Structure formats: structure tokens, C-alpha cells
Structure 1
Amino acid sequence: MRYTAVQKGEVRLLDGATGTELEKRGVPMRTNAWSGSASLDHPEILEQIHRDYIAAGADIITANTYATSRALLELDGLGDQFETINRASVQAACRAKDASGRPDVLIAGSLSHRGPIATGSARPDSRAIGLDTMAAALREQARLLRDEGCDLLLLEMMYDPARMPLVFEAAAQTGLPVWAGFSARRGENGQLLGFGPGEDVPFAQIISILHDWEVDAAGIMHTPANLVSDALESLRATFDGPLMAYPDSGYFKSPHWQFEDVITPSELHRYAETWIQQGAQVLGGCCGLSPEHIAALAPLKRGPMPENG
């Protein structure tokens, strides 16, 4: 059965990381487009990663398009390959789905307001790309992802109040289901903040964008597992639809992920049990997490609640 919205009582699995998993398997990372060009340079590895996540139990796999907007690709001299790279990204996911024999698997196209990241740093400089340039690039990418066959659009690492609306608008214009993933960090005084660098923006202010846009699911991603529960609690106060939880583990020194102190699959499972109690219906992993983490979550999957339930 194909589905584009999570039904009452369901718990479904999103995949784990794509970009850091490519690096883990030996694929070189670029300065700005990060893992984006791997869709052309190493399509067989990318397809195998998707296959491995499906085999681990993933119901949704994410195309390798997080860092493949034309605006980012141009910074690495790849702007003229925008269409080829994005099509290859979706096609790799489609081949993996077809090979799995699971027509129910959904393909999510990833959209972000990511900007370039200085070598050795961890946080994108979204402001390095002008608002008009970013808006045009996002609209172009969202349309291509829709036309290439993505089932939904996954808005990832939402944290910049000035740029989030550009992503939401581009996604809304496609008519596809939209799932929004927000990223959080802990401030010096213990307060929950948006992930972004610079000014400390309360997380509650970041997610208030959900009052202005209709989405089919919303969640916490690219956030340490020990912050997810607090962030979910804040999100539930704002959004009454299906919740997602897919944390990261390790840390970034651009352009490389540091696979240090990565949460174990069993630890992730224990956290996820709590997130389900908080209402999370889509579970998965972000940077640093691999197919074995998704396999550890597989026992938590469940079907929709009966109509009379």
C-alpha cells in the first residue's frame, strides 16, 4: 500500500544518514555540495545504501539531494550539472526501491536552506547565498524532485527564520506532501534553541513557522538524541499532526563527519521507545547513523490503529 501520510497508530521507519554513510563507505566529500556529486560519481554505492536501509526495515528512503540545490552546486563549479545530479539522486533511490520488491516504500526528496560551511567548521552559513538566489534554487529543485517521482518532500535542518519560509514555499508549490524536520541545540543557560549559529533563537520561535504553513508531518532531526524529547515536547505544543524523530550522532568538521562516540543501536532503540510515548510516529537517523541503527528500530514498527480503536 502506498501512503503519503502517517495513519493513526502507525509507527514507520525513515532511513538513516545518506551523506555520512557515503563518506563511511569511502566516497570523497566536496567542500560545499558535500555528498551531492556522489550520485554521479558513485551511483552504485549510493544505491546500495538505499538497499541496505530498506533491508533494515526503512519505509521511507531519502534521496541524496540535501546539498544539491543549484546555488550550492555552483560554489563547487557543478552548477551546469544540477539537473543530472538531482535526477541521478532520485533514480538511485528508485532503483533500490524497485529491487526491494516493496512498492510501499516512499522516496523523500530532501530540501534545505544549507549554505557553505567553512573547512573545519560545523554550521552552515546560509546567509552566504542571497535570499533571491536561494528562493529560485529551491523552487527549481523542488519541482525537479516532484517531476522525477519523489513521493514527498522532506525539509531538513530547518533553523533559520529568514530562510525557512523559502523552503516551505518551494515545497508547497509542488503539491506534494511535506514533512518538516527542525534542528535544535542547547544554549549556555540550558534553554532549547534553534540549531543555527549567531543569534540564539528560541526553539519555540523556530517552530512557530508551522502556524503559517500546512505540513503532513513535523519532527526533530540532526539533533543529539538526549535533546529530542524536550524538542518533541515543544513541537507537540505547536503541531498536532504526526511527529518524527531522527537524531544525529558524532559531529562535523567540514567537509568530514567525525564518527566519535556515536550512539549504539540499542541506545537509539531505548530513546525511541520514549519518543513513541511522546507521539512520534516516524523514527530514523541522521548524520552518523547507519543501517544497523535502523534495524534496531524495526521491532518498534506497527500498523495503523483499527477504525474502532
Structure 2
Amino acid sequence: MTIADRLEKKEIILLDGATGSELESRGVSVMLPLWSTIALLTNEGRKILNDIHFEYAKSGADIVTANTFRTNYRTLKKESMESQARNLTLEAVEIARRAIDRAGAGEQVSVAGSVAPAEDCYHPEKVPPDIELRDDHRRHIDHLYEANVDCFLIETMNTLREALIAVEYAIQTELPVMVSFITQKDGKLLSGESLEESVYAVSLLQPAAILLNCSDTGTIQENLTVVQKATDLPIGAYANILPLQKSFPVLPPDAYAETVQQWLEQFKLTVIGGCCGTTPKHIARLNQMVGRN
């Protein structure tokens, strides 16, 4: 059964966990602006990346997210590497595929192409004009489609404007498209826009699922209430557990699984996983929690 079929039936789908923080914990320097793309530039980095994907596949993830969060043209141009955007994107997807095959999960695990904000996830004021967004997302989504990803994960969107542009282009591929917002408390995107209105607007484009990610568990729990009321589409969440702010809890696998279990029961989530700070152990525990291992 394909990811599209499972989403339509609202079966639970388990995403993988963090890539950037895992790379950093294993000795890869993930400095901005390239961030996790740095792993693609050396043999050692590529090996570590392959190991991370492998461990997520072995942990029970249904989807491994290719390391394409920052292989977009606009980011690479900041380091005069824009000519490598296509090749780095294709290589990132291939590394994910090889890791899944190594885990013996080639028939069970899909590869998602990560599509991030063209600029900084945490700074909506930096979102470029529409014409620049369209150019960057078109290039990046074309590269991911060429790389033969199984679905798109448009993630950490901090404005409705950019989310709509990315989703509008991605759905033209006819692959499943999941879109995920980063939010603040009180039902707002980081831009201050209404989460309810944003979810409704994106729902009109009929993506496969609407998610929340990269906020702490408390913020996500508060805002899942909004998402659930604003759409009939499958919904989901994957939280940031890094101590970036004093309000962010650092959750071990058991505690994170307990939180996600509450979300499953309260909000009937379809898609779950982990964002920054989560590890293969967190995903293995989620897999166990949903009764698959």
C-alpha cells in the first residue's frame, strides 16, 4: 500500500526524527547557511548521514526524509554553490534510498523530499517576494521529482504565503504532499497569521496531510486543537525537543512517546514523528507505542 493510500485511509504513518541535530551529535559541523547540507560535501559526512537514515529505517519509520532541507538553489547561492543544487539534491535522495535498502526495508519505507522555507525557518520577516519564492521552490521541487522521491514534506512553514506557493507547485507532480507549519502559542504562525485561516486556505489545495512541526510539545498540543477544527484532511505533528528556549522540554523517548500517545487519542493524528533533538530511539519507541514492534 502506498503512502497516498495510507494517508487517504488515515492509517498511522510514522515519520523519522531529526537529521540536523543527529549529524551534529555525531561530529558533523552543521553551520548556517548550509546547515545539514554540509554532510553531503565529504565522504565521512555522507557515511554518517547514511547511518542516520539506516537507523531510522530500522527503528520502524514508514518515511525517511531525504537531507534536502537546505539543498535549494537560494541557500547554496549564499556560498557560491548554486550550480550544485541539482546534484546535491539527487545525491541526498540516493543516500536515503541506499540506507533504506541496507536496512532491508526497500518495499516498506518511502523517501520524502524535504522542502523548507527559502530563508530562515524562525524569521518570517525574511521570506522573499513571491516571484523569488516561486523560482526557488520550482527549482527545488523539480530536482526532488527528478530524484524520484515518493512524496513531499513541505515543512517548518512560517507564513501562509510561502506555504501556498510551495504546495501549489508540489501538487502539480501528483505525488502526495504533506505541509507542516511552525507555530507560536495562541493559534498563530510565527508570522502572526491565524493558524486556523492558514490551515483552511492550504486545505483548499487538497494536500495529503497538514502537520505541525518544530515547536515544543506544549505549543503543538495547544495548536492541534486549532488544526483539527480547521480541516477534515489527515493531520499530524512532530515536535522539537531541543532546549532552545527555557520552555522547551528535553524529552527522553518514553516521555515523548507518552506525549504523542495523548495526541493520537485526543486529536486522531495520522502522521507522527520527531523534529529537532529526536533520535532513532525516539522513533523506535513511537513504533512500539503504536503496537507495531
TM-score w.r.t. structure 1 length?
0.86
Secondary structure at 2:173 match in 1: coil
Q: Which residue matches 1:275? A: 263
Partner of 1:290: 279
Inter-CA distance 240–45: structure 2 relative to 1 (3 Å threshold): same
1:218 matched to 2:210: yes
In structure 2, the residue matched to 1:192 is 187
Question: Which residues of 2 match residues 37-48 of structure 1 at below 5 A?
Answer: 37-41=38-42, 42-48=45-51
Match of residue 83 from structure 2: 80
Q: Which one has a larger percent helix, Structure 1 or Structure 2?
A: 2
Deviations 1:226-279 (A, max 9, x none): 1222222211112212221110112559xxxx9x85211111111111111111
Cα distance change of structure 1 residues 87 and 9 upon mapping to structure 2, 3 Å threshold: closer
Aligned counterpart for 2:242 among listed residues 216, 237, 250: 250
Q: Which residue pairs with 2:115 in the alignment? A: 111
* CA displacement, residues 88-141 of structure 1 (integer Å, 9 cap, x when unaligned): 110110001111211110100011224148xxxxx2356364432221111111
Looking at structure 2, the residues matched to 4 and 267 of structure 1 have their Cα atoms a distance apart, in angstroms, of: 30
CA distances 1:120-171 after superposition (whole Å, capped 9, x unpaired):
xxx2356364432221111111111112110000010122123222211221
Change (3 A) 1:179 1:99: same
Structure-1 residue corresponding to 2:193 = 201
* 3-state SS of 2:6 partner: coil
Residue identity matched to 1:162: R
Q: What stretches of structure 2 of length at least 5 have no aligned partner? A: none
Q: CA deviation at 1:182?
A: 1.4
Residues 37-95 of structure 1: per-residue CA shift (max 9 Å, x gap): 31232111111000011111111110011122101110122211111211111011000
How many equivalent pairs are there?
Answer: 286
The one of 54, 67, 70 aligned to 1:67: 70
Q: C-alpha distance in 1, partners of 2:207/2:130?
A: 22
**Which residues of structure 1 form unaligned runs of 5+?**
118-122, 304-309
Report deviation, 1:210.
2.2
**Structure 2 counterpart of 1:298, which letter?**
N
Look up the SS of the partner of 2:215 in the other structure.
strand
Q: How does 1:132-281 map to 2 (within 5 A)?
A: 132-186=131-185, 191-196=186-191, 200-251=192-243, 261-277=249-265, 278-281=267-270
Closer, same or farther in 2 for the Cα pair 1:180/1:237, shift >3 Å? Answer: same
| Aligned residue type for 2:174 | G
CA distance in 2: counterparts of 1:16 and 1:106, whole angstroms: 14
SS for the counterpart of 2:123 is coil
Alpha-carbon separation, structure 1, partners of 2:69 and 2:48: 17
Distance in 2 of aligned mates of 1:251 and 1:70: 30
Greater shift in the superposed pair: 28-37 or 74-83: 28-37
- SS of the equivalent of 2:161 reads coil
Change (3 A) 1:273 1:116: closer
Please give the TM-score of this superposition, normalised by the length of structure 2: 0.90
Kindly report the root-mean-square deviation, in angstroms, between the aligned alpha carbons of the 2 structures: 2.2
C-alpha contact (below 8 Å) 2:21/2:277 kept by paired residues: yes
